[in-house]
C-alpha cells in the first residue's frame, strides 16, 4: 500500500490538468445547450479527488523519511533530464494546502462568477493553475521546477487578462507577464549555469555538489543573484513588485489563490535553493535588503490605498518581504510557518473582500459603511482573517511572528524592529479598512447589501474555521514550541505592536476628506504612498523611456536605412533591366563582346583592390 501511494503520487498534480481539459468542450463552445456550469462541476470534482488523494499521501508521510519518484524524460547526446518528485511531509503538506485552498476558491467562484459568460474558461484556467502549483510543491528537480514556474507565469497572464474586453485588464495582464519575464530570464541563466556546473538538475545532486564547490567570489555571486531573480518577480518584491497591484484587475476567486499560495511558490523555490545560495553572500544580503525595503515600503503603501483589493495586494508583498528576510538569514522555519499562516488568513480576507465587492458592486472603501449589520458572516470572516494575519494570541500570525522575533532576537535586533513595524502597520491598516467598510453609517451602495448566498458562504465559513484551528494544526506538526522556550519580552512587544496598530486605527478619524487631503504636507505624503513612491513613474521615465527610444531608433533604421538600401538595389535592378532590354540585337557576337568587356572590368577592379 505504501509503495502504491508513492508510485501514484504524480497523479495529484495531474488531476487539476484533467479537470482543465474536461472544461474544453464548454470553454470553446462545442457544448452550449447545458450552459457552462457542468464544466465547473467537472473541475471541482477533480480538485476534490486531488485533495483526498493528497490527504492520504500526507498522512502516509508523517513520521517517515522522504522518498523520491524519478522518471527519465530525455537522454540524448550525453544529456540526461529526469522528472523527480519528492514525497515528504513538507512537500505533501504544501501540496495539500494548495489543493485545499484551490477547492475552497473554486467553490467560492461558482457563486461569485455565476452569471459570467466564460465560466468554463475560468475554471479551466484554475485547474491549470492548481496543477502547476501542486507539481511545484512535489518537484525535486530544478529543471521541472523552472518549467512549472513558467506555467504559473502563463496562468497568471491568462487569469489577470480574463476579462480581456476591458483595456485596463489587457494592460494589467501584459505588465504582469513582462515583469515576471524579467526575473524568469535571469533565473533561466542561473538554472543553466548551475546545471552545467553541478552536472545534474536534481536538488540532491546539486546539494552534494554545493558542499564541495570551489567557485570564485564573482561566479558565486552572479549565480546567486540569477537564482533569486525569478522568485523576486514571482513574490512581487522590489523592484519587480508592481505587477501584483495591477493583477487585481482579474476575477476575485483567482486573487484568493494568487495572494495566498501562488506568490508563496517563488519563496518555496528559494527555500529549496538555500544550500546553493549560501555560496553567495551577496545574494543573501540582497534577499535581506530587498525583503526589508519591500516589507516596510509595501506596508506603508497599503495604508494609503482606497481600492480594497489593492490594500491587501500590497500587504501580500510586505509579508513576502518578511519571508525573504527569513530566507536571507537562513531561518527557513520562520519562512515556512509564516507562509502557511499568511496563506490561510489572506485567502480568508480575499473571500470576504469578494463578498463585499459582489454585493456592493464597488471596490472603493470610501463608498462603504455599516455592512456589519447586513453581512454578519462576511464581517466575522474579515475579523478572523485579520486576527490571523497579525500577532494576536493564539492564532497563526502570533506563532509565525514569534518564530521570527525569537530567531532574530540576539543576532539581528534591527530585523526584530522590522517585524514589529510591519505587524503594527498591518494592524493599523486592517482596522482602518474594518472601520470604513463595516462600521459607521450606511452609504448608498451598502444600504441594501445582503449577505452572500450559500455557494460563497460555505467556503468562507469553512476557511474561517480552518484559520481558527490553525494553531492546533501547527501544534500537531510540531511547529509551536514549548512554553518554557518562549521569551516573555518578545511576546509582550509583539502583542503591544498589534494593540498599538489597532488602537491607532480606531483613534484616527477617517472620512471622505482623507481620500484626497488638500492640506500640505498630508497631501504630499498620501500621494507619495498612494502612488507607490512614484516607482511606476520612475520606470516610465527611465527603463521604459530608454526601451521605447531604442525601439524607435531601431524602427527608423529598419525603415529608412535597411529598407532604403534594399529598395535602392531593387530600383537599380529594375532600371538596369529596363535599359538593357533595348540593347538586345539578336547577334551572338555582340553578346560575347559584352561579356568579355564586363569580365575585363571586373578583373581590373579586383586586381586594383587587391
pLDDT digits (tens, 9 = 90+) for 555-582: 888 888 888 888 887 787 777 667 666 6
Q: Is the pLDDT of residue 4 over 80?
A: no
Q: How far is CA 324 from the centre of its chain?
A: 14
Per-chain mean pLDDT for the chain: 85
pLDDT at 415 over 80: yes
Tens of pLDDT, residue by residue over 461-484, are 999 999 998 888 887 777 776 666
Flag whether 125 is in a domain. Answer: yes
pLDDT at 418: 92
What value does the mean pLDDT take over residues 18-47?
86
State the cell numbers at 521: 504636507
Tens digits of residue pLDDT in 53-98? 988 888 888 877 878 887 877 777 677 787 888 888 888 888 999 9
Residue 244 lies in a domain: no
Q: Which of 140, 173, 201 is the last residue of a domain?
A: 140
State the total domains in the chain: 2
Average pLDDT value for residue range 526-530? 77
pLDDT at 347: 92
Q: Quote the percentage of the chain above a pLDDT of 90.
A: 18
Asked if the structure places residue 456 within a domain, the reply is no
605 inside domain? yes
CA 227-310-246 angle, 5° bins: 55
Q: Write b or e for each residue in 230-263: b if 16 or more Cβ atoms lie within 10 A of its Cβ, otherwise e.
A: bbbbbbbbbbbbbbbbbbbbbbbbbbbbbbbbbb
The mean pLDDT value for 205-227 works out to 88
Determine the average pLDDT of the residues in 16-45: 85
> 80, 113, 140: which is the final residue of a domain?
140
* 119 falls within a domain: yes
Least confident of 47-51, 375-379, 399-403, 521-525: 521-525
Q: How far apart are the first and last CA of the chain?
A: 82
Per-residue pLDDT of 271-328, as tens digits, reads 999 889 988 899 999 999 999 999 999 999 988 888 888 888 889 999 999 999 999 8
pLDDT value at residue 65:
80
* pLDDT for residue 48: 92
Examine residue 411 and state whether it is found in any structural domain, yes or no.
no
The lowest-confidence range among 134-148, 184-198, 435-449 is: 435-449
Using the structure block, give the residue that is written with the C-alpha cell 529596363: 578
Please indicate whether residue 32 or residue 145 has the higher confidence score (pLDDT): 145
Q: Pick from 114, 140, 166: which residue ends a domain?
A: 140
Whether 111 and 455 have beta carbons less than 8 Å apart is answered as: yes
Q: Backbone phi, then psi, for 67, in 5-degree steps?
A: -130, 155
- How far is C-alpha 291 from the geometric centre of its chain's CA atoms? 15
Q: How many CB atoms lie within 10 A of CB 545?
A: 11
pLDDT at 114: 84
Q: What is the pLDDT of residue 483?
A: 67
The residue-averaged pLDDT of 231-256 equals 86
Confirm if 238 and 287 have CB atoms less than 8 A apart. no
Q: Out of 258-262, 372-376, 418-422, 513-517, pick the least confident.
A: 513-517
Residue 394 lies in a domain: no
Residue 586 binned pLDDT confidence (cut-offs 50, 70, 90): low
Domain that holds residue 600: 543-609
How large is the C-alpha radius of gyration of the chain?
Answer: 29
Q: How far is CA 179 from the centre of its chain?
A: 11
445 bridge partner residues: none
Q: What is the three-class DSSP state of 79?
A: strand
pLDDT of 521 higher than 70: no
| pLDDT computed for residue 580 by the predictor | 65
560 in any annotated domain: yes
Contact criterion met (CB below 8 Å) for 228 and 277: yes
Amino acid at each position: 500500500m505504501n509503495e502504491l501511494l508513492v508510485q501514484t503520487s504524480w497523479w495529484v498534480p495531474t488531476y487539476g490538468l484533467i479537470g482543465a481539459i474536461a472544461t474544453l468542450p464548454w470553454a470553446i463552445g462545442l457544448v452550449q445547450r447545458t450552459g457552462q456550469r457542468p464544466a465547473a462541476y467537472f473541475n471541482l470534482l477533480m480538485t476534490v479527488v486531488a485533495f483526498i488523494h493528497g490527504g492520504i499521501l500526507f498522512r502516509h508521510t508523517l513520521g517517515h523519511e522522504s522518498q523520491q519518484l524519478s522518471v527519465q524524460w530525455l537522454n540524448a547526446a550525453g544529456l540526461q533530464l529526469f522528472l523527480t518528485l519528492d514525497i515528504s511531509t513538507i512537500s505533501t503538506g504544501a501540496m495539500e494546502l494548495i489543493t485545499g485552498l484551490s477547492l475552497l476558491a473554486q467553490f467560492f467562484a461558482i457563486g461569485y462568477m455565476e452569471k459570467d459568460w466564460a465560466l468554463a474558461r475560468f475554471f479551466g484556467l484554475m485547474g491549470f493553475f492548481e496543477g502547476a502549483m501542486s507539481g511545484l510543491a512535489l518537484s525535486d528537480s530544478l529543471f521541472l521546477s523552472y518549467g512549472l514556474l513558467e506555467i504559473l507565469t502563463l496562468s497568471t497572464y491568462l487569469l489577470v487578462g480574463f476579462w480581456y474586453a476591458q483595456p485596463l485588464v489587457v494592460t494589467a495582464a501584459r505588465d504582469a507577464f513582462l515583469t515576471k519575464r524579467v526575473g524568469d530570464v535571469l533565473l533561466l541563466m542561473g538554472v543553466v549555469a548551475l546545471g552545467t556546473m553541478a552536472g545534474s538538475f536534481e536538488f540532491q545532486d546539486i546539494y552534494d555538489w554545493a558542499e564541495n564547490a570551489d567557485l570564485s567570489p564573482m561566479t558565486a555571486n552572479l549565480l546567486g543573484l540569477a537564482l533569486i531573480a525569478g522568485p523576486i518577480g514571482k513574490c512581487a518584491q522590489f523592484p519587480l513588485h508592481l505587477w501584483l497591484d495591477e493583477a487585481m484587475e482579474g476575477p476575485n476567486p483567482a486573487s484568493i489563490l494568487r495572494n495566498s499560495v501562488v506568490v508563496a511558490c517563488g519563496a518555496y523555490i528559494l527555500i529549496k535553493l538555500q544550500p546553493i545560495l549560501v555560496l553567495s553572500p551577496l545574494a543573501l544580503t540582497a534577499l535581506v535588503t530587498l525583503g526589508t525595503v519591500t516589507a516596510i515600503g509595501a506596508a506603508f503603501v497599503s495604508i494609503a490605498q482606497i481600492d480594497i483589493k489593492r490594500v491587501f495586494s500590497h500587504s501580500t508583498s510586505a509579508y513576502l518581504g518578511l519571508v525573504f528576510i527569513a530566507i536571507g538569514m537562513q531561518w527557513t522555519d520562520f519562512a515556512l510557518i509564516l507562509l502557511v499562516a499568511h496563506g490561510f488568513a489572506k485567502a480568508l480576507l480575499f473571500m470576504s473582500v469578494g463578498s463585499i465587492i459582489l454585493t456592493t458592486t464597488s471596490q472603493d472603501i470610501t463608498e462603504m459603511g455599516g455592512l456589519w449589520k447586513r453581512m454578519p458572516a462576511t464581517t466575522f470572516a474579515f475579523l478572523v482573517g485579520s486576527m490571523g494575519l497579525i500577532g494576536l494570541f493564539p492564532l497563526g500570525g502570533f506563532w509565525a511572528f514569534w518564530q521570527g522575533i525569537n530567531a532574530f532576537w540576539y543576532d539581528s535586533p534591527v530585523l526584530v524592529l522590522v517585524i514589529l513595524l510591519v505587524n503594527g502597520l498591518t494592524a493599523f491598516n486592517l482596522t482602518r479598512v474594518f472601520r470604513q467598510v463595516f462600521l459607521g453609517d450606511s452609504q448608498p451602495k451598502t444600504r441594501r447589501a445582503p449577505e452572500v448566498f450559500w455557494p460563497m458562504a460555505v467556503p468562507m465559513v469553512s476557511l474561517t474555521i480552518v484559520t481558527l484551528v490553525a494553531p492546533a494544526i501547527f501544534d500537531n506538526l510540531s511547529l509551536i514550541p514549548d512554553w518554557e522556550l518562549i521569551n516573555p519580552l518578545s511576546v509582550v512587544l509583539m502583542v503591544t505592536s498589534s494593540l498599538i496598530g489597532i488602537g491607532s486605527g480606531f483613534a484616527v478619524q477617517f472620512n471622505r476628506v482623507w481620500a484626497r487631503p488638500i492640506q500640505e504636507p498630508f497631501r504630499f505624503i498620501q500621494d507619495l504612498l498612494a502612488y507607490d513612491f512614484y516607482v511606476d513613474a520612475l520606470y516610465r521615465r527611465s527603463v521604459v523611456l530608454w526601451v521605447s527610444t531604442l525601439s524607435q531608433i531601431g524602427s527608423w533604421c529598419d525603415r529608412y536605412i535597411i529598407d532604403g538600401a534594399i529598395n535602392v538595389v531593387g530600383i537599380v535592378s529594375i532600371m538596369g533591366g529596363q535599359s538593357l532590354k533595348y540593347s538586345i540585337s539578336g547577334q551572338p557576337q555582340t553578346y560575347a563582346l559584352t561579356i568579355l568587356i564586363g569580365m575585363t572590368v571586373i578583373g581590373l577592379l579586383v586586381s586594383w583592390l587587391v
